[in-house]
Amino acid sequence: MYKFLWVLLMLTISSLEAEKVSFHTFYETKLTKEEILQQAKANTTFWCSSEIELPCDPNEFRRLDGSCNNLDHPTIGAAHTPFVRLLPPEFGNGFEPKPAQDGGPEPPARHIRTTLIANGIRPDPIFTILATHFFVLMAADSVSIQDTVNYVLWKPYCCQPKGKTDPLCTPVQVPNDDPVHRFSDIRCLNLTKPITYQFVGCTRNDTVPERISSAMPLFDLSIVYGNSLQNALKKGRLYNRGLLKYELVDGRVLPPSTPTVPNICLLNQPPHETRCHASPEDGMNSLLGINLMGIWFWRNHNRIASRLADLNPCWNDDKIFYTARDINVATYVQILYHEFLSLLLGWSNLKESSVVSESQGFRDMYNPEVMPTISLEFPYILRWAHLMQEGRVKMYDEAGHYLKQVPIVNLTLRTGYLVLDNNLDGMTQGSFRQASGKLDYTIDPDVSELVLGGLQRASDVGSSDLEKGRYNNFPPYIEYIKYCTGQCINNFDDLVDLIDTDKLDLLQELYRHVRDIDILAGTWVEKPIEGGFAPPTFYCIVVNQLLRSMVSDRHWYERPNRPNAFTLEQLLEIRKASISRVLCDVGDTVNRIQPRGFERAGPKNRMVSCKAIEQIDLTAWKDYSCSC
Ligand SMILES: *[C@@H]1O[C@H](CO)[C@@H](O)[C@H](O)[C@H]1NC(C)=O
Ligand SMILES: *[C@@H]1O[C@H](CO)[C@@H](O)[C@H](O)[C@H]1NC(C)=O
Ligand SMILES: *[C@@H]1O[C@H](CO)[C@@H](O)[C@H](O)[C@H]1NC(C)=O
Ligand SMILES: *[C@@H]1O[C@H](CO)[C@@H](O)[C@H](O)[C@H]1NC(C)=O
């Protein structure tokens, strides 16, 4: 009887027409018909309105547009979800960056960068370049990279007279005695401010500027699956056996390409380089690391989907697609938390901070009161990792023989290069053979003086990073020390536990007051955390986000109670994931690799046959109801 009523109820619910409802992206309120028209008239719909299918179904898989993650706040988790701030902003007149304590200007960003961080090419003894490839994937997965392309593509004139009249321009001034440009005529580097809700017209411009991002905030491989329903469905899915669309090029599986993607693969060298991915997001045509990781996780989806389709002939395309995506995302997050960040930040530290656990079983820390968002400080502090970006991409053959190298800055916005001359194979082999840049207060000169090969004469990622922090209106560095450790810093000497005295001397030369120190400048010169390789302020801000992402995500892969949850047997399979296994599975020509691919091969991490690298056994997903 009850069962009958239940079925009746379910039928009634599912027959209710799902409707699309528009919400304001900044205020998270439902838009009235009038407001919808107003936005259309002002051409702000793209940024300021989020159209979501309601009602939320508590039993459905993670939605492609990130909506309905929190059942009470359906828009949060979708693209254009506002950031949260760990600490309240501080600013000067008209929301300009705050002045120094004595009322004067803050020291110039370029001067700070060249004083604290030296140019140099030094290989790291521990990390491979695969680690930085993965790092940029993590960054691009949770926040859009529009601010990186803005000053190159949309507003290339910030150093010209026109830039003075564009409120979005904030070019970096180069001092006359600059260590590099004293020998050139360059006194200005192009740069734009972060794009804000205020700037795009979602809210009044006399309120605190808040950055807007087109990426979904959670760790969900949105580089592969897209940030909007429309793109995901139209550009991603093949609608056959749960697959993503793909093409075969010389026997290699790649996302489909379109010659008509406007303005993205700008550095493709015609006539030979024509490839430009028609993936749901342009991100797969951006930085080399993102492109490579995107291709690998794209293929990994199709590998999983094909296996599921063979195992479970009674599953339809939808079920295979969403299950394969769930396994692919879980594989990525398992590697992110348990392999990559456990190495960079120290596994024991992360265990202490409750980010990882010794137990292999389920973990359920879901709290619907915590919103699925990103802190504004998180993507910002990730910029510290520019110090470990190696400037040259080396290519090797299968046997480990060196073939050639190319500056990584020449490969941004240049997807077409990958498929020529087996370059993709060479880079795949190189990813786990080549060291990353050393974490030693130096930055690769291509990263700090060029950044975008061919598109700009000069640019400095470090100076841009510093300047962007000021336009995010972050409070002083020492406020973050207080937030992270409870310690009150009153003068430079109080920093001695965190920063070596030679670096402290430099800080004191640069800044007139300890409260003037920029958050990134302080983080740059910190001593690494014990048991890890990253600075303590980086650790604190990243761990805050790792916990938020885990606790706020209703679809978190370790939960036993989420919709379509893994069984314990399946979760234990996911635990076997490793970046080396991913490369064995989907990296062309990879037959041998060291077990810990983010670390250089050596006596304790010897290269072995892929047969010796543990595998996720997908038979754990076999549906026995298919066979009767
Ligand atoms: C409307 O906004 C979109 C997205 O910001 C932009 O690409 C387009 O050029 C705008 N159209 C007009 C007529 O301003
Ligand atoms: C803010 O908006 C007002 C009214 O739309 C406009 O006149 C003004 O120029 C804007 N100010 C800035 C700094 O963009
Ligand atoms: C990298 O790009 C620069 C600028 O376009 C060019 O001069 C240089 O030859 C390129 N290097 C390689 C190895 O392609
Ligand atoms: C700034 O952008 C303009 C226009 O793209 C370019 O001509 C100029 O070289 C750039 N400045 C530098 C220092 O690269």
**pLDDT tens digits, residue range 332-379?**
999 999 999 999 999 999 999 999 999 999 999 999 999 999 999 999
* 42 and 136 share one domain: no
* Residue 232 DSSP one-character state: I
Q: Which of 189, 237, 210 is nearest to 64 (CA)?
A: 237
pLDDT tens, residue by residue, 381-430 = 999 999 999 999 999 999 999 999 999 999 988 999 999 999 999 999 99
* 248 and 309 share one domain: yes
* 28 and 135 share one domain: no
| CATH number for 538 | 1.10.640.10
Measured distance between the N- and C-terminal CA atoms of the chain, rounded to whole angstroms: 27
The four Cα atoms 309, 312, 315, 320 give a dihedral, to 10 degrees, of -40
Pocket perturbation via mutation, ligand 1, pick of 46, 144, 228 by most ligand atoms within 8 A of CB? 46
Tell me the one-letter amino acid at 620.
A
- Say if residues 374 and 220 touch (Cβ distance below 8 Å): no
* 138 and 78 share one domain: no
pLDDT tens, residue by residue, 461-520 = 999 999 999 999 999 999 999 999 999 999 999 999 999 999 999 999 999 999 999 999
Q: 442: helix, coil or strand?
A: strand
For 136, half-sphere exposure in the C-beta direction (CA atoms, 13 angstrom radius) is 25
Please give the full DSSP string across 221-236, using - where no structure is assigned: -HHHH-SSHHHIIIII
Lining residues, ligand 4, CB within 6 Å: 156-157, 159, 186, 189-190, 456-458
For residue 478, how far is its CA from the centre of ligand 4 (angstroms)?
Answer: 35
State the average pLDDT for the chain.
93
The pairing of beta strand 442-443 with beta strand 118-119 = parallel
Cis peptide before 271 (omega within 30 of 0): yes
Query: Where does the pLDDT of residue 1 fall: very low under 50, low under 70, confident under 90, or very high at 90 and above?
Result: very low
User: Is 337 inside any structural domain?
Assistant: yes
pLDDT tens, residue by residue, 582-622 = 999 999 999 999 999 999 999 999 999 999 999 999 999 99
Q: Distance between CA 325 and CA 158 in Å, rounded?
A: 41
**Per-residue model confidence (pLDDT) at position 153:** 67
User: Is 22 inside any structural domain?
Assistant: yes
Tell me the one-letter amino acid at 417.
Y
* 548 and 403 share one domain: yes
User: Is 475 inside any structural domain?
Assistant: no
User: Is 256 inside any structural domain?
Assistant: yes
Q: Distance between CA 523 and CA 108 in Å, rounded?
A: 17
Has residue 9 got a pLDDT over 60? Answer: no
Q: Which of 86, 224, 71 is nearest to 545 (CA)?
A: 86
Range of the domain at 49: 17-85
Return the axis-axis angle of helices 129-142 and 423-431, rounded to nearest 10°: 100
For residue 406, how far is its CA from the centre of ligand 3 (angstroms)?
Answer: 8
**Per-residue model confidence (pLDDT) at position 148:** 61
**Per-residue model confidence (pLDDT) at position 147:** 61
Of all protein residues, the one whose alpha carbon is nearest to atom 4 of ligand 1 is 46
- Say if residues 199 and 205 touch (Cβ distance below 8 Å): yes
| Residue 218, φ and ψ in degrees, nearest 5 | -85, 165
**Per-residue model confidence (pLDDT) at position 439:** 93
DSSP H helical ranges for 534-601:
536-552, 568-574, 579-586
* 572 and 618 share one domain: yes
User: What is the number of the ligand 4 atom nearest to the C-alpha of 159?
Assistant: 1
Take residue 145 and report the two structure tokens written for it: 């990279």
- Say if residues 548 and 400 touch (Cβ distance below 8 Å): no
Q: In which region does residue 243 sit, left (phi positive, over 0), alpha (psi from -120 to 50) or beta (all else)?
A: beta
* 122 and 27 share one domain: no
Q: 123: helix, coil or strand?
A: strand
Query: Where does the pLDDT of residue 262 fall: very low under 50, low under 70, confident under 90, or very high at 90 and above?
Result: low
Segments of 105-207 assigned E as strands: 118-119, 123-128, 172-173, 188-189
| Other beta carbons less than 10 A from residue 207's beta carbon | 12
Of all protein residues, the one whose alpha carbon is nearest to atom 12 of ligand 2 is 205
Split into its structural domains, the chain has a count of: 2
Please give the full DSSP string across 360-391, using - where no structure is assigned: -S------TTS-S--BTHHHHHHGGGGGG--S
User: Is 273 inside any structural domain?
Assistant: yes
User: What is the number of the ligand 3 atom nearest to the C-alpha of 267?
Assistant: 5
The model carries a pTM of: 0.94
User: What is the number of the ligand 4 atom nearest to the C-alpha of 455?
Assistant: 5
- Say if residues 176 and 453 touch (Cβ distance below 8 Å): no
* 555 and 412 share one domain: yes
For residue 168, how far is its CA from the centre of ligand 4 (angstroms)?
Answer: 16
Has residue 14 got a pLDDT over 60? Answer: no
**Per-residue model confidence (pLDDT) at position 168:** 87
- Mean pLDDT for the stretch of residues 22-46: 96
* 56 and 136 share one domain: no
* 373 and 433 share one domain: yes
User: Is 482 inside any structural domain?
Assistant: no
Lowest mean pLDDT among 213-217, 241-245, 554-558, 564-568: 213-217
User: What is the number of the ligand 1 atom nearest to the C-alpha of 46?
Assistant: 4
Query: Where does the pLDDT of residue 144 fall: very low under 50, low under 70, confident under 90, or very high at 90 and above?
Result: confident
User: What is the number of the ligand 4 atom nearest to the C-alpha of 190?
Assistant: 1
User: Is 511 inside any structural domain?
Assistant: no
pLDDT tens, residue by residue, 147-162 = 666 656 667 788 999 9
User: What is the number of the ligand 1 atom nearest to the C-alpha of 47?
Assistant: 5
**Per-residue model confidence (pLDDT) at position 15:** 47
Q: Distance between CA 85 and CA 467 in Å, rounded?
A: 18
Q: Distance between CA 495 and CA 517 in Å, rounded?
A: 11
| Other beta carbons less than 10 A from residue 531's beta carbon | 12
* 126 and 64 share one domain: no
For residue 228, how far is its CA from the centre of ligand 1 (angstroms)?
Answer: 18
Take residue 127 and report the two structure tokens written for it: 């990390």
Of all protein residues, the one whose alpha carbon is nearest to atom 7 of ligand 3 is 454
* 349 and 305 share one domain: yes
Pocket perturbation via mutation, ligand 3, pick of 272, 410, 411, 421 by most ligand atoms within 8 A of CB? 410
pLDDT tens, residue by residue, 443-452 = 999 999 988 7
| Other beta carbons less than 10 A from residue 255's beta carbon | 25
Q: Distance between CA 583 and CA 293 in Å, rounded?
A: 10
Take residue 64 and report the two structure tokens written for it: 């492609």
Q: Which helix (H) or strand (E) holds 199?
A: helix 197-200
Radius of gyration of the chain (CA): 24
> In this prediction, what percent of the chain has a pLDDT beyond 70?
95
User: Is 512 inside any structural domain?
Assistant: no
